[in-house]
Structure 1
Amino acid sequence: MACCLMCRKDIKQTIEGEEVPGGNKVKAFSYSELRKATHDFSGANKLGEGGFGSVFRGRLKDATIVAVKVLSAHSKQGIREFFTELTAISDIVHENLITLVGCCAEGPHRILVYNYLENNSLAHTLLGKGYSSIRFNWRVRVKIAVGVAHGLAFLHEEIHPPIIHRDIKASNILLDKDLTPKISDFGLARLLPPNATHVSTRVAGTIGYLAPEYAVRGQVTKKSDIYSFGVLLLEIVSGRCNHNNRLPYEDQFLLERTWTCYEQGQLEKMIDADLEDDLDSDEACRFLKVGLLCTQDAMKLRPNMTNVVRMLTGEKDVSMERITKPAVIGDMGDIKVNNQQRPGDSQSEPSTIISSEATAESSP
């Protein structure tokens, strides 16, 4: 696994006349510069929208194409605090993580600038939310699944302190020109104020990918990311979204349908019918079993990401693992949302805030 932490000396950058700590690989942009690059954040340049904010395609003065993510919350966080958190993210370098190249912190504006990835996201391409000429044969899907697993294992087990992503999903997996997957939006929870209405400190996820303990109790751990990865893995193998309400009710939830096929000994039914010559059915069924292992109801039964990588690559035998029934959060009715304030607490936040997947097709 090709990865490293960027070694560097802190330098000083000046924003709005104030010296702030920043990284020597991260450029400070002015708000005016990014407005011009995106044509005033025009709808024509909008790439997508997710739980953390909207993303726009931009062209810088030197003609470089970038993806500009405007964070949704109007932050009261000071510039120094923002850059302190940003520095931690910008120092994280891995083949399967998106690269942060710049930012803006002027007044209430908090904007991140990333490398633009021309092949957009898995949600936009593989899962059919937009036209794509990419041929997702089996070897390409293996590369994507294993790459995402490597990136998530790096965040969980090689970063200190570890980073819990909180929103692993198809729209946060971007593809470069070689179809190498890049995880986006990692570490963004650090950059937002605790009272941001679009992401609470308890839940910042997407229905269909949410682990039950995270959705219902706000309990966030590495295992909640692993649950989300398991759902994503099922999507990659099957080529279908985790939920489709146009299907018969018993087939609407991908995870439930996969479990039924597993119980019936017919797991191969879940493999994308569009896969052709290079399909390895045994390997595809192994991937589906790993997805089910990751989505088990009991957190303690889910494997860590290092073992997930080993199972996907064949280094660890999946057949020796006992798979128990997964838990599915099917709709908002399954989640207890409490917007009432506690006695004496004038600024308590909602217990659970869930972001919608419907428009999340961003790059990043």
Structure 2
Amino acid sequence: MNSLKEDALPIKFMGRLKTTCELRWKIRLKIGYEIANALAYLQNGFHTPVIHRNLSARDVFLDENYVAKISGFFLSVSIPEGEEHLMDAIVGTNGYSEPEYMVSGKLTKTTDVFLFGVLFLELLANRRWLDMKLSVSKHPSEKVSDHCRDGRMDKLLDEGILEEIKGNRKQQEVVEVLQLISRCLASKGDDRPDIVDVATALKKFL
């Protein structure tokens, strides 16, 4: 198993693709769906929900058919049966972790929904989250919503995608996906969608 032939995603989808068209819109959409689907399985396929809590691009690998696999479970935890959350020590990648968790140490299913939103936006932008500089005064989800409302997809998307969707129906797909990402990035966990609903929403575009 490897990622784009040899490396983990952050090396290959952030600035080092051979050509921007190597990851076309539908391929990136497929990768996003598969990551969301994997997280949905972790949260619903076991006796107790499994929370990754440190998901980033370096934890996702692709095979030669761009099938995504998640790794890096050394910080993962299970929410106890009958509970909605787990309190634990604050650990993770600085700048990427979910806001509520970084303040309180509270982990819920929506913790990974936020991390998915960050990762998927990075995949579409071909830039690291910390390099996007979406806003100094607003939460990232608000800025994503602003750009969607104003039709400023150029502020969020990789040039390869912008060129591919220019003047065709894929533009509406992109807007809907960005709106979904903005919901995943909501500052409060209660305002984020369930990861199952995220996967279902993405699947309809494939």
Please give the TM-score of this superposition, normalised by the length of structure 1: 0.46
Number of residue equivalences = 187
**Cα 1:177–1:146 shift into 2, 3 Å:** same
Q: Which has the higher contact order (CA 8 A, sep 6+)?
A: 2
Structural mapping, 1:175-194, within 5 Å: 175-186=62-73, 188-189=75-76
> Which sections of structure 2, spanning at least 5 residues, go unmatched?
78-86
CA contact (8 A) 2:59 2:71 kept: yes
Shift of 1:133: 3.1
Match of 1:258 in 2: 144
The CA distance in 1 between the partners of 2:201 and 2:94, in whole Å, is 26
Aligned to 1:147: 34
| Secondary structure, aligned partner of 1:204 | coil
Paired residues of 1:243 and 1:254 also in contact (CA < 8 A)? no
Separation (CA, whole Å) in 1 of partners of 2:30 and 2:6: 15
1:313 to 2:203 alignment? yes
Letter in 1 for 2:128: C
Query: d(CA) in 2 for partners of 1:267 and 1:175?
Result: 30
Aligned to 1:52: none
- 1:201 deviates by 4.0
- 1:232 paired residue among 104, 119, 125: 119
Which runs of no fewer than 5 residues in structure 1 stay unpaired? 1-114, 191-199, 316-364
1:233/1:287 contact within 8 Å kept: no
Shift of 1:132: 3.7
Find the structure with the greater CA-based Rg: 1
* Post-superposition CA distance 1:89-146 (Å, at most 9, x none): xxxxxxxxxxxxxxxxxxxxxxxxxx55544222111112xx4436111111011101
RMSD: 2.8
1:289 alignment partner in structure 2: 179
Please, which moves more after superposition, 156-165 or 268-277? 268-277
Taking structure 2 as the reference length, the TM-score comes to 0.78
Structure with bigger strand share is 1
Offset at residue 224 of structure 1 (A)? 0.8
Counterpart Cα distance in 2 of 1:214 and 1:116: 31
Q: Distance in 2 between matches of 1:248 and 1:288?
A: 14
Amino acid at match of 2:147: C
Alignment of 1:268-307 (within 5 A): 268-269=153-154, 270-275=156-161, 276-277=163-164, 280-307=170-197
* Deviation, structure 1 residue 203: 2.2
